[in-house]
Structure 1
Amino acid sequence: MSSSRQKEQQQQQRRPGLQKQHASKADAAKAAVLAELRPGQSVELLKELHILTREGQLNQDSRRKLKQVYHLYQFIEPVLTELAANDHAPTLADHGAGKSYLGFILYDLFFKQLGRGEIFGIEWRGELVERSRDLAAQLAFDRMKFFNLSVAASTQSQELPERIDMITALHACDTATDDAIAFGLEKKARAMVLVPCCQAEVATCLRQGKALQLSRTPLAELWRHPIHTRELGSQITNVLRCLYLEASGYQVTVTELVGWEHSMKNELILARYTGQKKRSAAERLRAILAEFGLEQSLAHRFPQLPAADPDPAAH
């Protein structure tokens, strides 16, 4: 027998063993991926969201995305559980939804198993709304609805319920986070989960009055340089938002959304309604507006701010 014939026979003998070894490795890889998912989680959804590859695998980038989703879910799930008490059907509006990444994950992990409640995705780009509707139909996520609206316009929309339990706004740009807060107040939301994105409104106002403020107070040095103007504007914006929520009866927690290291916008504002409106928060909000010369330009952002006390010393 020729040597080439012998090699061919040896390869044929080894082939079943190699195939079995490859199958075993594939099964082990699949099991490892499933072990990282939550029980009952839709693999098909994760593929559609590009968290899993078409082969059902996790690469380094998608594994990081999955951890980010789970970390955010740790903040939201306990609040949803409270909202769903006593057989209540919780409602959630996701503002600036984009591809409704967050809404789909929340439905898959919580609402699907709960068997009641609705999620409303609000997004101004029509093509993304249509894509989300198609995906929800494909996955039979029947209690998800999507609206082609801006965050600001959604407050006046007759298509949405009068009351909504939870508001989420993940990286809603510039004043869209303020619009989401206004929506939450109008809908008497019991909880709001906000991760603000870029903010230009306050920085623009600070820039316009910079020369006057520099002559008026040494604090204006905090925003004399353009990069500091942008950073301080962002900081002031979120501080004002928190004070407004507290003045409107919410308990506010601000923390870092650990695990989103790839994003510079890493601040999570969690507000839960208690009904205890803090007068001191309203007073400090007004004081900050006055200190930075923002009364005229930003007063419209806080329409539900309680009236100023005419004689604070009387208390």
Structure 2
Amino acid sequence: MKPDDALELRPGQSTELLKELHILTREGRINQDSRRKLKQVYHLYQFIEKLLLELPAAPDRPTLADHGAGKSYLGFILYDLFFRPRGCGHIYGVETRSELVERSRALAARLGFERMSFLNLSAAAAADETALPDTIDVVTALHACDTATDDAIAFGLRKKARFMVLVPCCQAELAACLRQNKALSLSRTPLAELWRHPLHTRELGSQITNVLRCLYLEASGYQVTVTELVGWEHSLKNELILARWTGQRRHSAAQRLRALLAEFGLESLEARRYPGLP
């Protein structure tokens, strides 16, 4: 392995796992695409590790549910670097594509990662799944597409999650609502110029979606921090939302959320996306 490749890996990290995930080649090298992917996962791991260390020690803790798990890069690296050396806790990967679920199950069995489970479910269906515990310490959703991030938030609220770590992706639902009401909005307010052009509709829809999600989390008792995951040269889907349970429900956040829905003609979304508003 080249010296600069070696710098990418953490002490004690399983090179066998990284080869299975095609982050390392069979010769133990890292190509440029894999380097970007690994850097992104490592950045997210650093955020999540700090949260996991805050949780009280217990034989069956911490628990983490990863929504839109895909090939479970994040779940496997979290297990390898944090859960495996500590000998406790459990990771649940939630993914709708059955072939990826089967592949992850086989890989976990091959590597002896016994405290990993993979469920062929949507984030929306996972809240009622008996294979998952009643409470989950940490909920993650890395690039869960469109409303799957909202479903992951709803899951976290249902499971009384201590922390949620979200990197939203492909926020299309709200942009579609803006397009539907565009003519009325243009006659009603000059603000509609912000989404008159299709490109702006998509960008503004994405921005408003995440702002509403943050307000909903604050109204539901979470302290919210929004930051960058990695530099823009690595990923355009770069917004990281960190939510920490405090129990302090902010009524002002609920009021502002409703005011934004009214301002942009999006009141129909409240019952579907923000049912827990006080």
Post-superposition offset of 1:84: 4.3
Partner of 1:100: 72
Higher relative contact order (CA 8 A, sep 6+): 2
Q: What is the CA–CA distance in structure 1 between the aligned matches of 2:113 and 2:59, rounded to whole Å? A: 20
2:166 to 190, 194, 197: 194
Please give the TM-score of this superposition, normalised by the length of structure 1: 0.85
Cα shift at 1:87: 6.1
- Out of 41, 50, 69, the residue aligned to residue 78 of structure 1 is 50
More helix by share: 1
2:188 corresponds to: 216
Identity %: 77
Which residue of structure 2 lines up, in the alignment, with residue 145 of structure 1?
117
Structure 2 residue 109 is matched with structure 1 residue 109: no
Identify the match of residue 291 of structure 1 among 256, 263, 271.
263
Question: TM-score when scaled to structure 2?
Answer: 0.96
User: Which secondary structure does the structure 2 equivalent of 1:252 belong to?
Assistant: strand
Distance in 1, Cα, partners of 2:31 & 2:89: 33
What residue number does 1:251 align with? 223
Following TM superposition, by how much is the alpha carbon of 1:74 offset from its aligned partner in structure 2, in angstroms?
Answer: 1.2
Query: Out of 16, 22, 25, which is 1:53 matched to?
Result: 25
Contact between 1:253 and 1:271, CA under 8 Å: does it hold in 2? yes
Aligned equivalent of 2:102:
130
In structure 2, runs of 5+ residues without a counterpart are none
Q: Distance between the aligned counterparts of 1:126 and 1:263, measured in 2?
A: 26
Question: Displacement, 1:124?
Answer: 0.7
Residues 68, 259 of structure 1: 8 Å contact kept: no
Residues 260/45 of structure 1: CA separation in 2 closer, same or farther (3 Å cut):
farther
Larger Rg: 1
Tell me whether 1:280 sits opposite 2:252 in the alignment: yes
Q: For residues 68 and 272 of structure 2, what CA distance do their matches in structure 1 show?
A: 21
Let me know the Cα RMSD of the aligned residues. 1.5
| SS of structure 2 residue aligned to 1:172 | strand
Tell me which residue corresponds to 1:19. none
Post-superposition, which runs of at least 4 consecutive aligned residues in structure 1 deviate over 4 A? none
Q: Which runs of 5+ in 1 are unaligned?
A: 1-28, 307-315
SS of residue in 1 equivalent to 2:169: coil
1:186-232, Cα deviation, whole Å (9 max, x unpaired): 00000000000001111111111111111111111111111111111
Post-superposition offset of 1:264: 1.6
1:62-77 aligned within 5 A: 62-77=34-49
Cα distance in 1, alignment partners of residues 218 and 48 from structure 2: 19
Q: CA deviation at 1:53?
A: 0.4
- 259-268 vs 114-123, which deviates more? 259-268
Q: Does the CA-based 8 Å contact 2:36-2:234 persist in structure 1?
A: no
How far apart are the structure 2 equivalents of 1:285 and 1:197? 21
